[in-house]
Amino acid sequence: MATSPDPAALYPDIAAQGSLGAAFQTIAAQGGFFVPFTVSESDPLRYAVVTSTVRHRKPLAITAWAVERRWSIRGCESLQDLALVEGDTQDLAQIIQTAQAWHDGTGLAGIRRAAPFVHLAGRYKVPDHDPVRLTDSEWQHLRTEATETEWPEHRALVEAAYAEPALRMLYPFTSHWTLRFSTTTRPRLTVVPICLDAARREGRYTVSARIAGRTLAETTTAEEAVAAALHHLPPGLGPVTSGTA
């Protein structure tokens, strides 16, 4: 069975500093940056975090890859622990720039300009955790994600669902690329018994009450699938409420 390289062998310069956080701190200071890196006690050579000065952001996680010399970043919002920014690079300078921008509360577009390797997940900040705006943010994420996939059927399904007001008012999420809905936001979802699936390159869409459950309808277009979903949608679904209770 293959094993991962020794982190000290893959990252000798990091090992010489004692930890990933310490190495980044040194590099940041040399470049005129001040970034408060926190070291991981359990995996000091491969993991560090950077706190932010804005409350709606969780600490930016920086992880060194185990099989090649590369680093990943992931920055999440505080309520749902969902990514706002992600990315990976071999450029330490861009890691430092991203960490500084995240710490300082720079806008997401500004972070992307500071470090081109950063990928924006499509979500936007909702400091007051308003459930309606969180729902809209999650729709933006799913539409962004669908646009970036090589799966036109899934993209068509997401767009068709978004175009329908009765579905657009619900909190959307996916499970194994199945489009689903909730009447509450994360972290505690109240799932609506409707699932929408798009078969890749087959021109077939399926509506069911649950994943791998009984098929309620099978169509050849995304719009027809959405219309069938509306027919089976439970009555009396109101505006999305917070899932924090």
Q: Which residue has the higher pLDDT, 136 or 127?
A: 136
Q: What is the pLDDT of residues 70-90, one digit of tens each?
A: 999 999 999 899 999 999 999
- Domains contained in the chain, number: 2
* pLDDT exceeds 70 at position 113: yes
Question: Which amino acid, 174?
Answer: T
Taking residues 34-53, what's their average pLDDT?
A: 92
Please, what is the average pLDDT of the chain? 93
Taking residues 150-178, what's their average pLDDT?
A: 96
Pair 111, 146 in one domain: no
Say what the pLDDT of residue 135 is: 97
Pair 99, 156 in one domain: no
Helix (H) or strand (E) holding 97: helix 92-104
Taking residues 137-148, what's their average pLDDT?
A: 97
Residues 6 or more apart in contact with residue 9 via CB below 8 angstroms? none
Q: Tell me if 2 is assigned to some domain.
A: no
Pair 65, 143 in one domain: no
Say what the pLDDT of residue 203 is: 84
Question: Which amino acid, 83?
Answer: A
| Global pTM value | 0.88
E strand segments, the chain: 37-39, 47-50, 60-64, 71-76, 83-89, 119-120, 171-175, 178-182, 184-187, 195-199, 204-208, 215-219, 241-243
